[in-house]
Structure 1
Amino acid sequence: MVLPCLNEAEALPGVLAAVPDGYRPLVVDNNSTDGTAEVARAHGAEVVTERRPGYGAAVHAGIVAAATPIVAVLDADGSLDPAELPALVAELDGADLVIGRRRPVAGLRWPWHARLGNAVVCRRLRARYRLPVHDIAPMRVARRDALLGLGVTDRRSGYPVELLVRAAQAGWTVRERDVTYRPRAGGRSKVSGSVRGSIIAALDFWRVL
């Protein structure tokens, strides 16, 4: 289980405590300044250091370092529950990639700019690539070797969109499953936490599309 991290020390203890039995947490520290790596090690996680900044760089480093035939990737901010991963893995029987579609809990304020960007990108993915997706896969599972074989090159925010595009081009069967989306357990989102962050991510997304 790959957890790309940039300053997630506050949320990590809760995330790691929820990891299901049999799953090996691998935290990728992407230039954190808040002791993320130390917190991860103190709670039993393996830590990989990735100096190249960017979400895609952290995810790729984690997948390369993973030693399991199936790899799961999810955000480490506490908004997603690792306990839901086994249900996604079970969907791999007959699929190549299974992604989580975020369903906000009651009362969660999901910023309009983040929701709008997500909806526009996913509409494009459905129309152009015939992908049955409504979210850009903040939680996903796939077979490691096949995932690396797709050759995703984006090392910034565009990584999950390029992953979906390349999966479609490779003829992969992609399934989507609802997952619970909760408030962050700490810190501030690097993307949806600001209009600027969302704009940067949107530009990365459209560059890939």
Structure 2
Amino acid sequence: MPITVCGPACTTDNKNNGRSCGDPQRSYVGAVLGTYERNGYDDSDFLAVVWDGEQVTTREYASTRGWTYHNHATVDATEQVRVAAEAWYRDRLLAHLVAVAREHATAPRVGRRVRSLTRRGRHVGVTGQIRWIGPDRYRRDGGQRVGIAVPGEDALRYLPARSVTVLDPEPVDEQRLRGHAATARPDWRHALQDLTAHGHPTP
């Protein structure tokens, strides 16, 4: 079955007397990939993961926030839909993994050599090795601060982490990531989160 929701012509009698829906509205026939419940503090929402012909997305079909007892959804994706949805997911998963890996490879970390990006003041153009990373207490919006050991100097120089660039970034093994993405089998409940999750990929 596809997503089925109660239409406007379903009468109050149907609802109050427990009768079946008098006006079922069906959508995404043959395109429902998965269903799940999203629990909130007071209420729960029920969602279906669907293929809309161009991308995988979610649609809410029921909620405890209102009367939706006639509504339901069942996984019914055809083989053609599953193939198209998995291809869409794998293509975007690869791009996401590469982007995250590149960000990780160029992130300031203890032991990495960096160069200051500041354009004014005593830190212009200095290079050195990061010996310390911690919270930047000078920024209201948070962020990190790094302590750099500059050759020939005893004291560390402290700069915002966003004001340095890594001189020796790690290489990104795109071939390994491509192999992982090509064989990934999406858990459709979490698939869209996988494409936005932040952190170092560990396939």
Q: Same fold (TM over 0.5)?
A: no
Specify which structure has the higher proportion of helix. Answer: 1
Whichever structure has more strand as a proportion of its residues is: 2
TM-score norm. by structure 1 comes to: 0.23
